[in-house]
Amino acid sequence: MTLQEALETLKAMEEAQAAYGQAFSVMYVDGDTVAPKMSYKGRAKALGYLSGELYSKTVNERNIEAIQTILDAGDAVDALTRRKATVQKEDLEDMLLMPKEEYQTYQETLTEAGAVWHEAKLKSDWDAFQPYLEKLVAYKRRFAERKDASRPAYDVMLDRYEKGMNTKTLEGFFSLLRSELTPVILAVKDKPAPDDSCIHGHFPVEGQRELNRRVMAVMGLDPERTALGETEHPFTDGVNKWDVRITTHYHEDDVSQNLYSVIHEGGHALYELGVADELQFTCLSGGSAMSIHESQSRFYENLIGRSRPFMETLLPILRDVFPEQFRAVTVDQLYHAMNKAMPSLIRTEADELTYAMHVAIRFEIEKLMFSGDAKLSELPGIWNQLYHEYLGVTVPDHRRGILQDSHWSGGLFGYFPSYALGSAYGVQMLYAMERDVDVWGAVRAGDLTPVTAWLGEHIHRFGQSKTPAELLVSAEVNPFDPHVYVGYLKKKYGELYGL
């Protein structure tokens, strides 16, 4: 095969992947937002079939030869093309481990598992979900064993999310967080809780939709390229940079939950919206490793969205949309209300201080899933026990316990640690950004353009054309030091609670 033929083959392969990928994204988002419940029957069949088609378009001798030809061509190809070939090779090697039928069955199982999880959560019914979890874990274990039987399955999967990551590193990371943060969590518990009555009450969905429009404008989320939907569990799907979907969940009795879901998913969306044009419709479009992606979402949600300066921008909006509730509230009261630290049940609603403990619990559970040291049927009990141990809270039902997150139903095992890693990366990015940009001036002015521009320059535009490690260097998280994150939390909560 000539290099020219190899390049054309790669192009055709990426064109197929972009087309099928877009169809899958839209069917997935649609299925989770507006499709009627029984639609999963047809969707499971269609996604199963079409994923088999994409498999055939990806995994074949011609593509394998083309990729190797490009990688062997050295300096005759540009760096971007070489990077594409590298990423494609990694994906292909993974797909080769699973025959087409197995891959298709897995895709069908995912679609069904999503629908079943949704119902199971509403009914707190672990038994309904467990058989699907069983299938998904079994698939992932088979995959990990074929990929590298010499390493624990969970390590193989962590490495797939972020090259070089493993159980041992994460155990050190979470152990540091637990030992450093637990005393702060306990100290905060002894202090009087701040008054957060302003964020509780009755906030009709229509008003919250208006709030979202205003806040999304502050974030600079282009409404012609971003759509907001409604789901049980908020998520982002970046179809391409001209089509980014985010979702939220409305609670009429608490204005902060939807608000911070939108800011979090909006952070993911800004990443997808900011990837360079030249990477669109290639394997390098979309964000990099999940920890990098979560560094962006948690950056906007917490470092910006829960900062004191942001309250100066947020309060006038809240007063406009919900005048009764916020007329008499001060910036300082709002800041304390939005940063009330309290061990709680739901990860996505947790404050910054206790958040990492939720993630640490999921890390422990996932280790057990893959080590085989516990049966799946034992996991709900262990979950509840860990919540008691780490956070001192009692889990009343599986809906607010082990069934709360959608990730496992989507086959995302080894994803959760990304949230804590990303939170930690973000703090170091913020400190770097502060050296170049008047961050807090922009936040107070209600226009986050300079903040997004810095992240765009250092992270977003690169898509997957850089490795996670290279992106951390680009974003000046170099070296990564979790003590910086711990220090940030200690300072913030020390001041908030007068510790």
Catalytic site positions: 265
Scanning 28-36, 178-186, 413-421, 440-448 for contacts with a second copy by CB under 8 A, the matching segment is 28-36
Q: What is the dihedral of CA 39, 41, 44, 46, to 10 degrees?
A: -80
Binding residues among 52-81 for a second copy as defined by CB under 8 A: 53
DSSP notation for 376-403: GGGHHHHHHHHHHHHH------GGGTTT
- Please count the residues of this chain forming the interface with a second copy, following the rule CB under 8 A: 42
* Distance in angstroms (rounded) separating the CA atoms of residues 116 and 19: 28
Scanning 34-42, 158-166, 328-336, 430-438 for contacts with a second copy by CB under 8 A, the matching segment is 34-42
The residues that bridge with 226 in the sheet, in sequence order, are: 244
Residues 371-410: x where in contact with a second copy by CB under 8 A, - otherwise, as a string: ----------------------------------------
Sign of the CA dihedral running 486, 487, 490, 495: negative
In the list 35, 92, 95, 393, the residue contacting a second copy (rule: CB under 8 A) is 35
Scanning 26-34, 167-175, 388-396, 455-463 for contacts with a second copy by CB under 8 A, the matching segment is 26-34
29 forms part of the interface with a second copy (CB under 8 A): yes
C-beta of residue 108 within 8 angstroms of C-beta of residue 48? yes
Nearer to a second copy, 65 or 230 (CB): 230
Per-residue DSSP letter, 226 = E
In the list 106, 132, 154, 281, the residue contacting a second copy (rule: CB under 8 A) is 281
469 forms part of the interface with a second copy (CB under 8 A): no
46 forms part of the interface with a second copy (CB under 8 A): yes
Nearer to a second copy, 24 or 408 (CB): 24
In the list 61, 75, 224, 324, the residue contacting a second copy (rule: CB under 8 A) is 224
41 forms part of the interface with a second copy (CB under 8 A): yes
Encoded amino acid at 143, one letter: F
Nearer to a second copy, 33 or 169 (CB): 33
Question: Which structure tokens are listed for 339?
Answer: 């940063």
Q: Nearest 5 degrees, angle CA 293-CA 220-CA 275?
A: 40
Pairing of strands 236-240, 243-248: antiparallel
H/E stretch holding 41 reads helix 40-58
Closest CA to 318 of 230, 203, 197, 223: 203
* Distance in angstroms (rounded) separating the CA atoms of residues 285 and 280: 5
20 forms part of the interface with a second copy (CB under 8 A): yes
C-beta of residue 318 within 8 angstroms of C-beta of residue 211? yes
Buried-exposed string 426-439: b where 16+ CB fall within 10 A, e elsewhere:
bbbbbebbeeeeeb
In the list 81, 111, 167, 226, the residue contacting a second copy (rule: CB under 8 A) is 226
Scanning 40-48, 117-125, 212-220, 386-394 for contacts with a second copy by CB under 8 A, the matching segment is 40-48
Contacts of 379 (CB under 8 A, 6+ apart): 365, 368, 369, 402
In the list 99, 201, 223, 396, the residue contacting a second copy (rule: CB under 8 A) is 223
In the list 72, 127, 183, 242, the residue contacting a second copy (rule: CB under 8 A) is 242
In the list 30, 112, 196, 210, the residue contacting a second copy (rule: CB under 8 A) is 30
27 forms part of the interface with a second copy (CB under 8 A): yes
Interface residues with a second copy (CB under 8 A) are: 15-16, 18-20, 22-23, 26-27, 29-30, 33-39, 41-43, 45-46, 49-50, 53, 206, 222-227, 229, 239-240, 242-245, 280-281
